[in-house]
């Protein structure tokens, strides 16, 4: 085992260096610095990076601000052409970048590639959007008057992203921001700076080849809390989009509000699926397995609570426990493995703590515990856990970023909805049913209180075309598709008088 892990160590670091170099990152950016980057696959060192000091963050914002002043004057469809080229560059880099995501974040290969596909998809969306930044015209109450609104670029957009989608979350924000005429300063998770360096090198090449794109259009600042605080506190950044924990969002939201900036918050989820009496259980089983164990339970959309009708409980839950027992855990780069490592040792500790609390609250735990993977002893592997809970208490109402699925029983639909909505978070939800009335009731104003509510699907794996985000402690922000772009622009309302009289609104008289 000692030899095997030494070999794995060499090969991961070497592969990371090859990919970063191929994508155009300067070697000193990923080999020099005080912060050691490790792969969760085997715990080996795969790079070293330097944190940006507050002064360096301020300088990056200054460059982004100058870039914004030029970029806002470039016609939106030309800005779309820039994003089209970014999408092309991502297509060309998909295999390399996807692999790097897998090595740095520990995702299985298919999910690493899927994450890059999500970046390509949002670029395509943004290209079309660049010709559809529509405002409205409204009928004026005054004769010979016209009312209209326009959407103008907002300025520098700050993006703070998490380790679990180390590159896609940047792209949902950046692709929209670029077509909206904004520049972007990105503070990625300190756990995944290498994928950020790769994307940043790729964008820099697209910028260099695009005559109207100013240097500073896309800035990267590496580091942890202090780096983020310098970005969030700077009044030259009118929009801050932050993805991560509710605790982080509370700090960011307050700091941005304090200077009257706009925060787009995408925070914790505690997503539930309801399995109704009429559900297609074979379909539900597969969807639940992906929702709860995919990305080793480390998506904000991960299925964390399963609310099962008492009439199907004994037909579904034992089968699910069997799937949990047989799922392949191990090296995410290996074909056939479905559950890779957690991001670090702290994540394992968090999972163990939640399982202990669940047991103490009367839960029956199936699975859980560390998983030994031969040759990868330094990695952070666990067995996914399914916990049958007597009630929605203790750790069930918290988000633990690990593969734990709490299972609850219900008897009436109202009870199921109350359980589904009975947590502080409000990101994603779903129902498995073939009863049309029940499905639509779940989607109605009286049903799920989440930003995302699916039918006969799991809670995760959203497409980019819809607005992504959720309510309550999830933060209320929306990113990605639909009209989420409006948060990256400022709205201007104009009244235009094309007559020679000067009537006042509301019939007010002011005759001088
Ligand atoms: C996240 O975990 O922060 O819907 C985002 C999904 C993905 C995005 C997850 N498209 O699961």
Tokens of 296: 């080793």
Structure tokens at 161: 């992203």
Band of residue 8 on the pLDDT scale cut at 50, 70, 90: low
Instruction: Look at residue 6 and tell me whether its pLDDT is greater than 70.
Output: no
pLDDT digits (tens, 9 = 90+) for 399-456: 999 999 999 999 999 999 999 999 999 999 999 999 999 999 999 999 999 999 999 9
Residue 461 Cβ contacting ligand 1 at under 6 Å:
yes
Predicted local distance difference test score (pLDDT) of residue 18: 97
Beta strand pairing call for 452-455 and 428-432: parallel
Q: Please, which pLDDT band fits residue 10 given cuts at 50, 70 and 90?
A: low
What is the mean pLDDT of the segment spanning 379-383?
Answer: 98
Residue 363 in contact with residue 406, Cβ under 8 Å? yes
Whether the CB of 300 sits within 6 Å of ligand 1: yes
Q: Which of 299, 399, 461, 481 to mutate to test the pocket of ligand 1 (most atoms within 8 A of CB)?
A: 299
**CA-nearest residue, atom 6 of ligand 1:** 461
Position in ligand 1 atom list of the atom nearest CA 300: 2
Q: Please state the pTM of the whole predicted model.
A: 0.96
| Measured distance CA(136)–CA(493) in Å, rounded | 9
Mutation choice for ligand 1 from 453, 468, 474, 480, CB with most ligand atoms inside 8 A: 468
Ligand 1 centre and the CA of 460: distance in Å?
Answer: 6
Q: Residue 500 — very low, low, confident or very high, per pLDDT cuts 50/70/90? A: very high
Q: Is the CB of 243 under 6 A from ligand 1?
A: yes
Whether residue 334 lies in the annotated active site: no
Q: Judge whether residue 7 has pLDDT over 60.
A: no
Residue for token pair 């933060």: 475
Query: Cα of 291 to ligand 1 centre, how many Å?
Result: 11
pLDDT band at 5 (very low <50, low <70, confident <90, very high): very low
Instruction: Tell me how far the alpha carbon of residue 341 lies from the centroid of ligand 1, in angstroms.
Output: 18
- pLDDT at residue 243 greater than cutoff 90: yes
Q: Is residue 86 over pLDDT 80?
A: yes
Q: What is the pLDDT of residues 112-146, one digit of tens each?
A: 999 999 999 999 999 999 999 999 999 999 999 99
At residue 286's C-alpha, the angle toward residues 284 and 292, to 5°, is 95
Is the beta carbon of 462 within 6 A of some atom in ligand 1?
yes
What backbone phi and psi angles, to 5 degrees, belong to 365? Answer: -95, 125
Cα(57)–Cα(54) distance, rounded to whole angstroms? Answer: 5
**Which ligand 1 atom sits nearest the alpha carbon of residue 298?**
2
Q: Is the CB of 295 under 6 A from ligand 1?
A: no
What integer is the mean pLDDT of 264-270? 97
Any idea what DSSP says for residue 24?
T
Give the pLDDT confidence score for residue 4 in this predicted structure.
43
299 lines ligand 1 (CB under 6 A): yes
Residue to substitute in 189, 271, 462 for testing ligand 1 pocket (most ligand atoms within 8 angstroms of CB): 462
Q: What does the pLDDT look like over 186-236, one tens digit per residue?
A: 999 999 999 999 999 999 999 999 999 999 999 999 999 999 999 999 999
Q: State the catalytic residue, choosing from 266, 388, 438, 473.
A: 266
- Distance from residue 169's CA to the centre of ligand 1 (Å): 8
* CA 194 to ligand 1 center in whole angstroms: 20
For residues 290-304, average pLDDT: 98
Tell me the mean pLDDT in the region 37-45. Answer: 98
301 Cβ closer than 6 Å to some ligand 1 atom:
yes
- Between the CA of 73 and the centroid of ligand 1 the distance, in Å, is 33
Ligand 1, pocket-test mutation among 122, 269, 461, 481, most atoms within 8 A of CB: 461
DSSP character string of 344-383: SHHHHHHHHHHHHHHHHTT-EEEE-SB---TT-TTS--B-
Closest atom of ligand 1 to 269 CA is 2
For residue 114, how far is its CA from the centre of ligand 1 (angstroms)?
11
| Ligand 1 neighbourhood includes 433 CB (under 6 angstroms) | no
Confidence of residue 60 (pLDDT cuts 50, 70, 90): very high
Residue 414 token pair: 């109202």
DSSP string, 286-333: HHHHHHHHGGGG-STT-EEEEEEETTTHHHHHHHHHHHHHH--BS-TT
Which residue owns the Cα nearest ligand 1 atom 3? 300
pLDDT at residue 1, as a whole number: 37
**Whole-number average pLDDT of the chain:** 97
Q: Note the Cα 52 to chain centre separation in Å.
A: 23
Tell me, in angstroms, the distance from the centre of ligand 1 to residue 28's CA.
32
What 3-state class would DSSP assign to 145? Answer: strand
Q: List beta partners, residue 151.
A: 491
pLDDT at residue 111 in the model:
98
Nearest to 52 by CA among 234, 233, 223: 223
CB-based contacts of 12, cutoff 8 Å, min separation 6: 39, 41, 42, 44, 46, 103
| Ligand 1 binding pocket mutation candidate from 301, 425, 459 (most atoms within 8 A of CB) | 301
Using a 6 Å cutoff on CB, does residue 460 contact ligand 1?
Answer: yes
Specify the pLDDT at position 253: 98
Give the pLDDT band of residue 9 (cuts 50, 70, 90).
low
Tell me if 164 CB under 6 Å of ligand 1.
Answer: yes
Whether pLDDT at 316 is above 90? yes
For the CA of 462, the closest atom of ligand 1 is 4
Tens of pLDDT, residue by residue over 164-176, are 999 999 999 999 9
Task: Report the separation in Å between the CA atom of 298 and the middle of ligand 1, taken as the mean of its atom positions.
Answer: 9
């Amino acid at each position: 085992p000692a030899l095997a892990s030494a070999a794995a160590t060499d090969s991961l670091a070497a592969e990371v260096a090859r990919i970063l170099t191929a994508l155009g990152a300067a070697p000193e950016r990923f080999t020099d610095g005080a912060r050691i980057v490790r792969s969760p696959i085997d715990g080996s060192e795969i790079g070293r990076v330097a944190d940006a000091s507050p002064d360096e963050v301020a300088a990056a914002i200054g460059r982004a601000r100058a870039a914004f002043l030029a970029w806002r004057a470039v016609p939106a469809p030309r800005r779309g052409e820039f994003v089209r080229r970014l999408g092309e560059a991502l297509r060309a880099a998909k295999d390399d970048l996807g692999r790097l995501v897998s090595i740095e974040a520990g995702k299985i290969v298919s999910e690493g590639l899927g994450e890059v596909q999500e970046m390509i998809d949002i670029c395509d969306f943004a290209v079309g959007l660049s010709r559809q930044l529509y405002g409205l015209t409204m009928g004026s109450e005054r004769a010979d008057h016209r009312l209209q609104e326009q959407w103008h670029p907002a300025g520098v957009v700050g993006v703070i992203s998490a380790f679990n989608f180390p590159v896609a979350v940047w792209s949902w924000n950046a692709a929209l921001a670029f077509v909206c005429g904004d520049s972007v300063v990105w503070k990625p998770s300190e756990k995944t700076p290498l994928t950020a360096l790769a994307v940043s090198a790729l964008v820099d090449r697209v910028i260099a080849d695009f005559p109207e794109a100013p240097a500073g259009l896309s800035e990267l600042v590496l580091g942890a809390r202090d780096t983020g605080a310098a970005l969030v506190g700077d009044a030259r950044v009118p929009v801050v989009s932050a993805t991560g924990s509710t605790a982080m969002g509370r700090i960011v939201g307050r700091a941005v509000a304090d200077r009257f900036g706009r925060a787009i918050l995408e925070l914790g989820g505690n997503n539930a699926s309801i399995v109704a009496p009429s559900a297609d259980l074979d379909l539900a089983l597969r969807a639940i397995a992906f929702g709860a164990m995919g990305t080793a339970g480390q998506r904000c959309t991960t299925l964390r609570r399963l609310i099962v009708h008492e009439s199907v409980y004994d037909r579904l839950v034992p089968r699910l426990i069997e799937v949990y027992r047989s799922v392949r855990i191990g090296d995410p780069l290996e074909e056939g493995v479905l559950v890779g490592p957690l991001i670090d040792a702290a994540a394992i500790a968090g999972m163990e703590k939640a399982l202990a609390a669940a047991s103490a609250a009367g839960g029956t735990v199936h699975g859980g515990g560390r998983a030994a993977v031969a040759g990868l002893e330094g990695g952070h592997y666990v067995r996914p856990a399914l916990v049958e809970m007597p009630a929605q208490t203790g750790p069930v109402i918290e988000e633990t970023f690990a593969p734990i699925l709490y299972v609850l029983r219900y008897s009436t639909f109202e009870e199921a909805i109350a359980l589904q909505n009975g947590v502080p978070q409000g990101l994603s939800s779903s129902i498995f049913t073939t009863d049309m009335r029940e499905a639509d009731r779940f989607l109605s104003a009286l049903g799920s209180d989440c930003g995302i509510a699916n039918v006969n699907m799991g809670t995760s794996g959203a497409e980019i075309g819809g607005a992504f985000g959720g309510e309550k402690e999830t933060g209320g922000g929306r990113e990605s598709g639909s009209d989420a772009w409006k948060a990256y622009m400022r709205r201007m309302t104009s009244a235009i008088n094309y007559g020679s009289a000067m009537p006042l609104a509301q019939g007010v008289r002011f005759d001088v």
